[in-house]
Structures are given as structure tokens and as C-alpha cells.
């Protein structure tokens, strides 16, 4: 084979490689037959352990927060990763203040909120919710040496100075049920709520069981007050203890897709995942 033939073959091969590269790139950029992998954009506080929190590294499988050097992890991140994998999508986590989550959803900044939200009638007016991805009973936390440490029912909390997290049924619905309560302004995050209790700024806080369990891992001086199996308990509806994933109103395709994924999970699976999150939560930081 002479040099001209060899040179000709090389030129043809180079031309083929270049053509394939350009063709493949064109398909991706212009929406040809080659489809790009979708992205699931999930909003959460990244400050609500054990549901979600931020940390400086990717330990335990944490996910890099969009436009940040920090990583997000917790029960909500575990669930977000599972859903994205099941839908064959890449995952992006957006750190958004609690009160701004519905606005970020409405403005299409994110696709869904996985942030420990109760499925309330008020929220259902502006967003759609999936079936529950957790069921969280409501409890109180106090300090072991407080006047309320031996409370056995809601009536024993009369006159307590208390608070909880802003825009939650804990603050809006449960605290007013305490007779003669001195209700202080709501806290912007769950960690700040727990700091207020630990510093004895308040006598007690109202929260849900996962948050309380996580707090007890960090603050051994606190005591759980669970009146769930008594008649003297907080009055809450099922919607206030059912925790769901919210999507934009009318986004039925994503809603149905996520619900299809959640069908594969049992209550026991939810509990096991939450226990795993509690074991590694960094509230102490």
C-alpha cells in the first residue's frame, strides 16, 4: 500500500470522527434523537435536621448544594436521591428559606419541595402534594429540670413560656392549645428553636417526633413529652402529621411520577431511613 492510499484512509477516518462528534453534539444542543438526562430541582432549608441540613463535605452521600460550597444531607436528601434515581434524572439541591419555598416553586426556580412539609389544607390552595413520604406525630420538648418535666398531658403545660418554628402547625395550631401559654415569637429555624429551649429562654417547644429524637441525641438535658396515647393531647388533623412533597399546582406529570416511586416504600422503610438520618445529623454543630 503506497503513501497516497494510506494518507487517503487517514483523511477519511478523521473526517468520520469529526462528523460523528459534530452530529452527536448537534443532537444534544438542538433536541435531536439523542436526549439529555433530565434534572430534578429540589428545594429545602438545609437547616432542619434530621429532615435536611448542610455540611462541609459529601460524607454519607451528601449532595452539593446549588451555587454553594456546602453539601446537603438528611432524610429529605435521601428521599430526593431515591426519587431522582428512579426517574433517571440528575439531582440538584437548592437551599431556600422556609417561608420562601412556596414562592420558589411558583416561580419555577425549583421543581418540587422536599422539606418536611405537612400536607395542610392551606398549603393545598397553592401547591399540589404527593402521598405522604413520612408520618410525624407531634410532641413537646422541655428541659429535664423544668417545672414541666413530669407533665403527663397537655393540661399540665398550662402557663408555660413556649415557642416553635415559624409557619408550622406546631406554632400556629398546637401552641395556642396550651392554656394561658406565654407564646414567644416563632423561630426561623428548628435549630434556633432548640437553642432557645437549651438556653432556658423558653420552658418548652412543640415539634414533631423526628426533630425531637434528633434533639435528644444532641441535648441530653432535654426531655420528650409525648402525649400521643392519651386523651389529653394536642388536637391535630391527619393533614398536620402527614408529611408530603409539594409540586407546582397542576404539574400532574411530576406529581404522578413521584407518587409512583413512593408506592414502593412502606412505613417501616420510612422509619428506617429516618433513623439512619438521625444517627448522622449534625445538630450539635
Angle at 64 between CA 265 and CA 30, to 5 degrees: 90
How long a stretch of residues is the chain?
Answer: 285
Whole-number pLDDT of residue 1:
52
Q: How many domains does the chain have?
A: 2
58 lies in the same domain as 196 = no
* Cβ-contact 42, 93 below 8 angstroms: yes
Whole-number pLDDT of residue 282:
78
In a domain, 23, yes or no: no
In a domain, 25, yes or no: no
In a domain, 4, yes or no: no
100 lies in the same domain as 144 = no
Whole-number pLDDT of residue 43:
98
187 lies in the same domain as 268 = no
d(CA 47, CA 29): 37
Mean pLDDT split into 10-residue runs, the chain, 285 residues: 48 44 38 67 94 96 98 98 98 96 97 94 94 95 98 98 94 97 95 95 96 91 96 90 96 98 96 94 62
131 lies in the same domain as 195 = no
Q: For the CA atoms of the chain, what is the radius of gyration?
A: 25
* Cβ-contact 42, 111 below 8 angstroms: yes
In a domain, 263, yes or no: yes
148 lies in the same domain as 275 = no
50 lies in the same domain as 125 = yes
55 lies in the same domain as 130 = yes
Beta carbons within 8 Å of 205's beta carbon, 6+ residues apart? 140, 141, 162, 163, 164, 170, 193, 194, 196, 197
In a domain, 26, yes or no: no
* Cβ-contact 129, 238 below 8 angstroms: no
Whole-number pLDDT of residue 283:
59
112 lies in the same domain as 160 = no
CATH number of the domain enclosing 52: 3.40.190.10
Q: State the pTM of this model.
A: 0.75
Using left for φ > 0, alpha for ψ between -120 and 50, and beta otherwise, residue 102 falls in alpha
The two beta strands, 52-55 and 71-73, are antiparallel
In a domain, 20, yes or no: no
121 lies in the same domain as 99 = yes
131 lies in the same domain as 144 = no
Domain range enclosing 112: 39-135+240-280
131 lies in the same domain as 43 = yes
* Cβ-contact 198, 215 below 8 angstroms: no
148 lies in the same domain as 128 = no
**What is the three-class DSSP state of 250?**
coil
Cell of 192: 434556633
In a domain, 18, yes or no: no
Whole-number pLDDT of residue 232:
97
Whole-number pLDDT of residue 278:
92
| Beta-strand runs (E) in the chain | 39-44, 47-48, 52-55, 63-64, 71-73, 90-95, 112-118, 127-129, 134-135, 138-143, 161-163, 182-183, 204-208, 222-225, 242-248
In a domain, 163, yes or no: yes
d(CA 135, CA 267): 8
Amino acid at each position: 500500500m503506497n503513501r497516497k492510499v494510506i494518507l487517503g484512509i487517514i483523511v477519511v477516518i478523521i473526517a468520520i470522527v469529526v462528523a460523528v462528534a459534530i452530529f452527536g453534539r448537534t443532537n444534544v444542543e438542538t433536541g435531536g434523537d439523542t436526549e439529555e438526562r433530565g434534572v430534578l430541582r429540589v428545594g429545602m432549608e438545609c437547616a432542619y435536621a434530621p429532615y435536611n441540613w448542610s455540611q462541609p463535605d459529601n460524607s454519607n452521600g451528601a449532595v452539593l448544594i446549588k451555587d454553594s460550597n456546602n453539601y446537603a444531607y438528611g432524610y429529605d436528601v435521601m428521599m430526593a436521591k431515591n426519587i431522582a434515581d428512579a426517574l433517571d434524572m440528575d439531582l440538584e439541591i437548592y437551599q431556600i428559606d422556609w417561608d420562601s419555598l412556596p414562592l420558589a416553586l411558583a416561580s419555577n426556580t425549583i421543581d418540587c419541595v422536599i422539606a418536611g412539609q405537612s400536607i395542610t389544607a392551606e398549603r393545598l390552595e397553592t401547591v399540589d402534594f404527593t402521598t405522604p413520604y413520612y408520618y410525624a406525630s407531634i410532641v413537646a420538648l422541655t428541659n429535664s429540670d423544668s417545672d414541666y418535666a413530669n407533665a403527663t398531658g397537655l393540661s399540665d403545660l398550662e402557663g408555660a413560656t413556649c415557642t416553635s418554628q415559624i409557619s408550622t402547625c406546631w406554632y400556629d395550631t398546637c401552641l395556642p392549645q396550651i392554656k394561658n401559654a406565654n407564646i414567644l415569637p416563632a423561630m426561623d429555624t428548628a435549630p434556633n428553636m432548640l437553642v432557645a429551649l437549651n438556653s432556658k429562654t423558653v420552658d418548652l417547644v412543640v415539634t414533631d417526633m423526628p426533630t425531637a429524637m434528633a434533639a435528644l441525641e444532641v441535648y441530653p438535658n432535654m426531655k420528650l413529652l409525648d402525649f400521643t396515647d392519651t386523651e389529653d393531647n394536642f388536637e391535630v388533623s391527619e393533614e398536620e402529621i402527614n408529611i408530603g412533597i409539594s409540586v407546582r399546582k397542576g404539574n400532574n406529570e411530576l406529581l404522578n411520577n413521584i407518587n409512583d416511586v413512593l408506592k414502593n416504600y412502606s412505613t417501616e422503610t420510612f422509619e428506617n431511613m429516618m433513623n439512619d438520618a438521625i444517627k448522622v445529623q449534625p445538630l450539635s454543630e
